[in-house]
């Protein structure tokens, strides 16, 4: 901590002490000094000469400092003006960033733009202003700020590119974001944040092969946990199965299934996706055995419902297998629907009707209403079938909107 007052006082006391010392010395030893110059002869006491010499030195030093100060004055003025502009720019940037945090996009953009010219870090101003412009819905101004950021900071192209991709992703400009990220990945393939953003974008566009290619890099760099990698792999293989199923290609579905790591094949969600696509294309060979094996290891209502949709050569055997789970899950609606379907396939109409009604009592689902209504219609109970069709429609649409009961084939519903 500086103490200028004490320092000045110390110098004054030191000067007085020196003066007193010189005075005492001069009183005791006045001395005599003669200075001869061409045409001049100067005689004086030694003490006066010492004092005059000191005064001359002080005057010369002061003059030199004055001349030096005057010489440096323009530079100091320029630095003062630059510091003033810098402080003003920092003030604009500070107010702009605070407005950005508050969500005052218009004020944030205005402050950041005004401060960019005087800021020592205009890159921050332009990137933040780009976000503020996008939040106001003006993508043209956003892109202009990004161009200005490139012009003022050409060496920060990776940072600017990441910010640009994030803005594009937030605006649902997935294709543009993907193009930006691919360019960045070519420039800097080891950048972890770019890899993460690429995986996210590839997932959004359904490029599951690229997702699977990037996952080992993310895991190696410890950017995702083991659980996150597993979830992304499941999502990718399910996406590949669904894409193959949409093309009605059983061979492609089986190829994806063969390429799926064995540790993932036991996952009920992935197995359900595979069987669903096989049912979709009408080729379910081997699916019954897979579902049986999985259900023996772990109960899954979703897999049981799919199991009931598999048409095997021995439906009685299927029904016996499904009914074994009723003891552990007596009120499980999907299980009751499954055994109801299998009973229908076996021609056991009474048992099927009882199971379907129990399933509706456990949880009313439109699909269960439809199965029960189809059964009643086949048995000639058209009025009762119409009632269940109507109830299924109400369940599917979230509730009836009529003011009073409907009249369907003479029945009040």
DSSP code string of 96-158: HHHHHHHT-HHHHHHHHHHHHTT-S-HHHHHHHHHHHHHHTT-HHHHHHHHHHHHHH-GGGHH
Listed in order, the ranges of the chain carrying CATH 1.25.40 are 87-152
Identify the pLDDT of residue 4.
Answer: 57
| Residue 412, H or E segment | strand 411-412
Q: How many CB atoms lie within 10 A of CB 110?
A: 17
**What are the Cα distances from residue 228, in Å, to 98, 177, 215, 231, 273?**
35, 23, 10, 5, 19
d(CA 127, CA 96): 12
Per-position b or e across 204-223, b if 16+ CB within 10 A of its CB: eeebbebbbebbebbeeeee
Identify the pLDDT of residue 399.
Answer: 59
Q: How many CB atoms lie within 10 A of CB 103?
A: 10
Check: CB of residue 374 under 8 Å from CB of residue 342.
no
d(CA 364, CA 410): 24
Q: Do β-strands 40-44 and 33-37 pair in parallel, antiparallel, or remain unpaired?
A: antiparallel
Write 101-107 long-range contacts (CB < 8 A, 24+): 103/135, 105/132, 105/133, 105/135, 105/136, 106/132, 106/136
Q: How many residues does the chain have?
A: 413
Q: Is 80 exceeded by the pLDDT of residue 38?
A: no
| pLDDT per position as a tens digit, 15-31 | 667 666 766 666 666 66
CATH code of the domain occupying 87-152: 1.25.40
pTM score of the predicted model: 0.71
| pLDDT per position as a tens digit, 270-287 | 999 999 999 999 888 899
Q: Mean per-residue pLDDT for 252-257? A: 94
Q: Is 50 exceeded by the pLDDT of residue 403?
A: no
| DSSP assignment letter at 266 | T
Phi, psi of 190 (to 5 degrees): -90, 0
Q: How many CB atoms lie within 10 A of CB 16?
A: 10
Instruction: Express as a percent the part of the chain with pLDDT over 90.
Output: 57
- Residue, of 9 and 254, whose pLDDT is higher: 254
pLDDT band at 13 (very low <50, low <70, confident <90, very high): confident
Q: Under 8 Å CB-to-CB from 352, ≥6 apart: which residues?
A: 340, 341, 343, 344, 375
| pLDDT per position as a tens digit, 166-223 | 999 999 999 999 999 999 999 999 999 999 999 999 999 999 999 999 999 999 989 9
| pLDDT per position as a tens digit, 150-177 | 998 889 999 999 999 999 999 999 999 9
pLDDT band at 405 (very low <50, low <70, confident <90, very high): very low
Instruction: DSSP for 183-237, please give it.
Output: HHHHH-TT-HHHHHHHHHHHHHHT-HHHHHHHHHHHHHTT-S-HHHHHHHHHHHH
Q: Which residues pair with 407 in a beta bridge?
A: 412
- Residue, of 301 and 60, whose pLDDT is higher: 301
pLDDT band at 11 (very low <50, low <70, confident <90, very high): low
């Amino acid at each position: 901590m500086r103490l200028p007052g004490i320092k000045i006082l110390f110098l004054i006391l030191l000067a007085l002490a020196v003066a007193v010392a010189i005075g005492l010395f001069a009183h005791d030893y006045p001395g005599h000094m003669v200075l001869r110059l061409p045409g001049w002869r100067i005689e004086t006491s030694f003490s006066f000469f010492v004092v005059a010499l000191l005064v001359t030195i002080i005057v010369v030093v002061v003059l030199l400092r004055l001349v030096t100060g005057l010489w440096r004055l323009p530079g100091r003025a320029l630095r003062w003006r630059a510091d003033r502009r810098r402080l003003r720019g920092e003030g604009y940037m500070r107010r702009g960033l605070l407005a950005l945090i508050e969500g005052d996009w218009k004020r944030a953009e205005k402050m950041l733009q005004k401060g960019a010219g005087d800021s020592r870090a205009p890159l921050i101003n332009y990137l933040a202003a780009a976000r503020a412009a996008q939040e106001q819905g003006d993508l043209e101004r956003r892109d202009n700020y990004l161009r200005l950021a490139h012009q003022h900071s050409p060496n920060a192209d990776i940072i600017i590119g990441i910010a640009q991709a994030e803005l594009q992703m937030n605006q649902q400009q997935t294709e543009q974001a993907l193009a930006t990220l691919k360019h960045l990945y070519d420039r800097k393939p080891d950048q972890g944040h770019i890899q993460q953003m690429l995986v996210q974008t590839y997932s959004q566009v359904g490029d599951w092969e690229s997702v699977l290619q990037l996952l080992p890099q993310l895991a190696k760099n410890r950017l995702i946990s083991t659980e996150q990698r597993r979830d992304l792999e499941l999502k990718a293989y399910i996406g590949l199965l669904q894409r193959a199923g949409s093309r009605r290609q059983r061979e492609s579905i089986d190829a994806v299934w063969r390429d799926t790591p064995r540790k993932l094949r036991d996952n009920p969600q992935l197995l359900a996706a595979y069987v669903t696509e096989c049912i979709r294309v009408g080729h379910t060979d081997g699916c019954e055995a897979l579902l049986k094996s999985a259900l023996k290891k772990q109960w899954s209502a979703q897999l049981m419902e799919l199991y009931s949709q598999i048409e095997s050569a021995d439906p009685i055997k299927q029904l016996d297998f499904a009914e074994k789970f009723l003891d552990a899950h007596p009120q499980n609606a999907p299980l009751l629907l499954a055994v109801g379907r299998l009973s229908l396939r076996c021609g056991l109409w009474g048992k099927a009707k009882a199971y379907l009604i129990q399933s509706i009592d456990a949880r009313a689902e439109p699909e269960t209403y439809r199965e029960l209504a189809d059964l009643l219609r086949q048995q000639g109970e058209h009025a009762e079938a119409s009632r269940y069709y109507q109830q299924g429609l109400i369940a599917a649409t979230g509730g009836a909107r009529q003011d009073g009961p409907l009249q369907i084939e003479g029945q009040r519903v």
